[in-house]
């Protein structure tokens, strides 16, 4: 897991104006709330007074949890504004100046695509990787489904790699695979990857030779090619996909030259072993919102097929060396993803999860460093341990 990227925190519609929402991301507790202008704010959840959870249990019934744009700690009523500064400490009298150490980390927030994202790291605005731009979002001729959040009990990198894996479709998804039934024709053609135009990741298109899908009536399934060149007995599906940062991914599904699904996955690593996937499904056909429910239902069925496999993959973390797996040309995108992770390793952004797990919540309450730490001192909590220097990762080897 890495600091210094944008992570989904909560769906916009789940963040009301009256109540804070907690989220655990990268193993660390965060609290989100809306300030007096309705703007989403995200803070470290651990109160620097005596460690209560700012978004946690509240015994005060209908008393407000958010006052003047500040979230109120449920233990002794300290009030923290969206910048993380403590505006009031009731025990010294409301309106009395608070000490400079009475502050928590506050993270940059962008609310887009129906999701509240926070930049979890301390890079300045100029240094930060931008949030992935979904160019068709809000454009005429495109429709977005409501965000689907999938909660899964496995590592987010395993989840990302599954989305980059063209060879699993044939065997995991009865909706678009045949379990190897067409043994003489099936294969995944070799493909190349290229860097994403925004940097921070890559893109690939892959051609898979598959037989027509008897249960489907779309043009591809009848034996034409989506882009109208060769005509063949077999249909060719040519999905594309790519990554952006360690935790964002897209899949383009081209049904015909005119009909596409563009699916975006913003992954929230809760811990190393638990992930919440914020799934944005865009389409440029069947634009009637009444079709949303059916598309959600189908996506959930397909997701379940992946989840059942991924729950049983061993080891639970992606291996740091490719010699522990036998990679094939179809796995090229997975290697490209790991090479990008290596770049993030080299930046010193990888969390030292062993050190973190040993102490966090026991005798330390770690927080993720925020940009404010670059401009002021006097911070109370220790920042999450990171792995500095060279990481022993061998991602060059291929079969």
Direct distance between the N- and C-terminal alpha carbons of the chain, in angstroms, rounded to an integer? 27
Segment near Fe ion (CB under 5 A), from 76-84, 149-157, 298-306, 354-362? 298-306
Counting contacts by CB under 5 A, is residue 306 touching Fe ion?
Answer: yes
101 binds ligand FES (CB under 6 A): no
User: What does 117 interact with, of Fe ion, ligand FES, none (CB < 5 to 8 A by kind)?
Assistant: none
Sequence-distant (6+) residues with CB within 8 A of 381 are 44, 46, 48, 104, 105, 365, 366, 367
Cβ 78 vs Cβ 72: under 8 Å: yes
Minimum distance between the CB of residue 153 and Fe ion, rounded to whole angstroms? 17
Q: From CA 104, how far away is CA 3, in angstroms rounded?
A: 17
Residue closer to ligand FES (CB basis): 88 or 155: 88
Which of Fe ion, ligand FES, none has residue 291 at its interface (CB below 5 to 8 Å by kind)? none
- Asked if 292 and 280 touch (Cβ cutoff 8 Å), the reply is no
Q: Looking at the chain, list the stretches that DSSP marks H as alpha helix, in order from N- to C-terminal side.
A: 156-163, 169-172, 292-310, 332-346, 353-359
Residue 41 CB, nearest approach to ligand FES (Å): 17
Asked if residues 348 and 387 have their Cβ atoms less than 8 Å apart, the reply is yes
Q: Kindly indicate which of the ranges 9-17, 68-76, 118-126, 160-168 contains the residues binding ligand FES, using the contact rule CB under 6 A.
A: 68-76
By a kind-dependent CB cut-off of 5 to 8 A, residue 306 interacts, out of Fe ion, ligand FES, none, with Fe ion
Kindly tell me which of 24 and 178 has the beta carbon lying closer to Fe ion. 178
The number of residues making up the chain comes to 399
Using the minimum distance from each CB to ligand FES, give the nearer residue, 71 or 152. Answer: 71
Range 53-58, long-range pairs (CB < 8 A, 24+ positions): 53/22, 53/29, 54/20, 54/80, 54/104, 55/20, 55/21, 55/22, 55/29, 55/31, 56/22
Q: How far is the CB of 78 from ligand FES (least distance, A)?
A: 4
Using CB under 6 A, count the residues that bind ligand FES.
Answer: 9
C-alpha distance from residue 22 to each of 54, 74, 153, 187, 243 (Å): 8, 13, 19, 45, 27
Residue 349 CA, chain-centre distance (Å), reads 16
Tell me if 161 contacts Fe ion by CB under 5 A.
no
Rounded least distance, CB 186 to ligand FES, Å: 60
- Residue 272 in tokens: 């190393």
Report the residue number, 52 or 303, with the smaller CB distance to Fe ion.
303
Residue of the chain from 36, 60, 76, 257 that contacts ligand FES (CB under 6 A): 76
Residues touching Fe ion, count (CB under 5 A): 1
Among 2, 78, 261, 379, binds ligand FES (CB under 6 A): 78
Q: How far apart are CA 242 and CA 258, in angstroms?
A: 21
User: Pattern 20-59, binding to ligand FES, x per CB under 6 A?
Assistant: ---------------------------x-xxxx-------
Name, in order, each residue with C-beta under 8 angstroms of 274's C-beta and a sequence gap of 6 or more: 151, 152, 153, 154
Site of interaction with ligand FES (CB under 6 A): 47, 49-52, 73, 75-76, 78
Site of interaction with Fe ion (CB under 5 A): 306
């Amino acid at each position: 897991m890495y600091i210094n990227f944008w992570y989904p925190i909560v769906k916009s519609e789940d963040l009301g104006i009256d109540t804070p929402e907690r989220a655990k991301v990268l193993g660390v507790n965060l609290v989100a709330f809306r300030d007096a202008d309705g703007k989403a704010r995200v803070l470290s959840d651990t109160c620097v007074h005596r460690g209560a959870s700012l978004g946690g249990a509240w015994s005060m019934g209908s008393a407000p949890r958010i006052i003047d744009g500040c979230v109120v700690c449920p233990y002794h009523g300290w009030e923290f504004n969206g910048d993380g500064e403590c505006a009031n400490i009731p025990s010294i009298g409301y309106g009395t100046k608070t000490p400079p150490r009475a502050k928590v980390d506050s993270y940059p927030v962008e609310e887009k695509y129906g999701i509240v994202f926070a930049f979890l790291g301390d890079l300045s605005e100029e240094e930060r990787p931008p949030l992935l731009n979904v160019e068709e979002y809000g454009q005429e001729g495109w429709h977005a489904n409501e965000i689907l959040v999938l909660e899964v009990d496995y590592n987010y990198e395993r989840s990302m790699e599954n989305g980059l894996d063209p060879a699993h479709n044939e065997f995991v998804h009865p909706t678009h695979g045949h379990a190897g039934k067409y043994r003489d024709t099936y294969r995944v053609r070799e493909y190349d990857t290229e860097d994403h135009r925004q940097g921070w990741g890559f893109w690939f298109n892959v051609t898979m030779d598959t037989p027509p899908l008897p249960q489907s009536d779309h043009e591809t399934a009848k034996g034409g090619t989506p882009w109208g060149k060769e005509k063949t007995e077999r249909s060719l599906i040519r999905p594309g996909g790519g990554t952006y940062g360690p935790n964002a991914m897209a899949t383009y599904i081209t049904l015909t030259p005119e009909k596409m699904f563009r699916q975006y996955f913003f992954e929230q690593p809760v811990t190393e072993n638990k992930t919440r996937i914020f799934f944005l499904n865009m389409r440029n056909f069947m634009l009637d919102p009444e079709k949303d429910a059916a598309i959600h239902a189908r996506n959930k069925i397909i997701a379940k097929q992946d989840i059942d496999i991924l729950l049983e993959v061993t080891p639970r973390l992606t291996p740091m060396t490719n010699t522990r797996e036998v990679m094939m040309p179809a796995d090229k995108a997975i290697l490209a993803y790991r090479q990008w992770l290596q770049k993030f390793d080299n930046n010193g952004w990888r969390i030292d999860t062993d050190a973190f797990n040993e102490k966090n919540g026991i005798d330390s309450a770690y927080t993720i460093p925020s940009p404010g730490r670059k401009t002021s001192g006097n911070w109370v909590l220790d920042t999450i341990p990171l792995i500095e220097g060279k990481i022993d990762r061998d991602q060059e080897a291929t079969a």
